[in-house]
Structure formats: structure tokens, C-alpha cells
Amino acid sequence: MSTTNNPAPDYFGQYDHLRMSRDDQGVLLVEMHTGGGPIRFDAGDHDQFVDAFYAIGRDRANKVVILTGIGDWMAEIDFGSFGKVGDADIWSKVHDEGTQILENLANIRVPMIAAIEGRAHVHTEYALLADVIVAGRGASFADLPHFAGGIVPGDGIFTTWSYRAGAGRAASFLLDPAPVSAETAAAWGVVNVLVEDGQAVRAARELAARCLRQPEVTRRNTRIHFIQPLKERIVREVGYGLALEGASANALVRQMNPAA
């Protein structure tokens, strides 16, 4: 893999928990991390990812995008960093960012590949907005922050999982905190390529190289065509889902602190 000799755009270094590098062919690798290890997703990420995915999508030097995590896709979330989520003003910000993150991912207009290793237990909807999902055989999928934690899975995770796996499987998956294996996710049609552990990014790069054989307009228009039905669902469903999630967050806070 060669890295480009051109200076990296300023936005590459602007986000605390995203590491970006782009090779000479325009393949952008986006790695989610905290301190070089698995990301512990926090409110700052929820804010910064809005701008990050917008910047990636508008940069035409990006020819293919690979999104991955370090060690795990994502397995931990710092709930406390979001503040008093039962407060309508706090949730309004969460609501806006949650819708904008997914819309900006859906607006990336080049082939997008998710490379998953380890635990994908938080924000798997980001991965399901990719055209192809590559996973190590030891990867696992779950949704720990939502129903298992006492709130509605309304941030797009039901929309994306039902689109990829079917509504019945998605509902069962989201109601049950038990992880499912990469093999099961492949049987459901969610994972498209299974590889040995540690090889997901390599396999994603090989797929990206094959995509790059086609004309740029073909690549861009194919992504636009493939993502459009899911994009329509994101726009139609996620704002409503996050409103329901916000109401449930308020109810959970009151249940945990009845005297508050």
C-alpha cells in the first residue's frame, strides 16, 4: 500500500477519535479509536462525527472509503459524557447530531466499505450504511446502549438492521442483548465477506482496488444508486425514532431517580 505524496487535507487531523489516511489511489481509511486503541464513544464523538462524515463526503479526492475501528469496531460508550439526557434541551442536540451523522454517511457518494473486527456492540448502524461489510470470523454484533440499557433503539439501528436483515430478525436482535456471531450476521445477509481475524482491512483494500478499475462516474453513481432506498428510510424514520428514544431516556432517568 502506497501513501499519497500530497499533503493531507486539514480535516484529517481535526477529530479526536478518528484517524484518517489516504493512499495514492484515493482510498481513504478512517479508523475510530481512543488513544490508539478501541474507541470509547462519547458526546464529543457524537458532535465531531457530524462534521467528519460531511467533510469526507464532499472531498472528491476520496475515491473509496473504508471505515473501521481499532481492535473493536465499537464496544464502549461513555453515557455520562452526554449529560442529562432526560432534559429536552440536551436531547435536542443529541437528536440533531444523530440524524445528521447518518444522513452525512448516506451522502458519501463513493463506494464505502466497513471493515469489522472484534466487538461491534455500539453504533453498528454506521457500518450498515456501507455498501459492503467485511468482518473477521471472530467478530460479534450486539446493541448494548438501547433496549438492553432501557431506551428505544431509535437512532437508525432498527432502520438499518431491518433494511439489511429483515424486520423480524432486526426486532429480535435488538430486543435481546446476546451478541450474534459474524457467521450468523453473514447468514442474515448483513456481513458480506467473512475473513480470518485481523484481515478485514486488508480484504477491504483488495475490494477497493477492484472498485477502482471502473470509471469514477460509474463508481460514484453506483454508490448513489445503491444507497438511495436506505437514505430515504433514514430521512423518513430516524428523526421520529430519536424522538421516541428521547422520551424513553426521560422515562429511564425518572425511574432511576424517582426523587429528582
Q: Which residues are catalytic?
A: 125
DSSP category for residue 34: B
Give pairs for 243-248: CB < 8 Å, separation 24+: 243/95, 243/154, 244/152, 244/154, 245/146, 245/151, 245/152, 245/153, 245/154, 245/155, 246/85, 246/88, 246/91, 246/94, 246/95, 247/152, 248/150, 248/151, 248/152, 248/154
β-bridge partners, 41: 77
User: Cα separation of 148 and 174, whole Å?
Assistant: 8
Grid cell listed for 166? 429483515
Asked whether 40 and 78 are in contact (CB, 8 A), the reply is yes
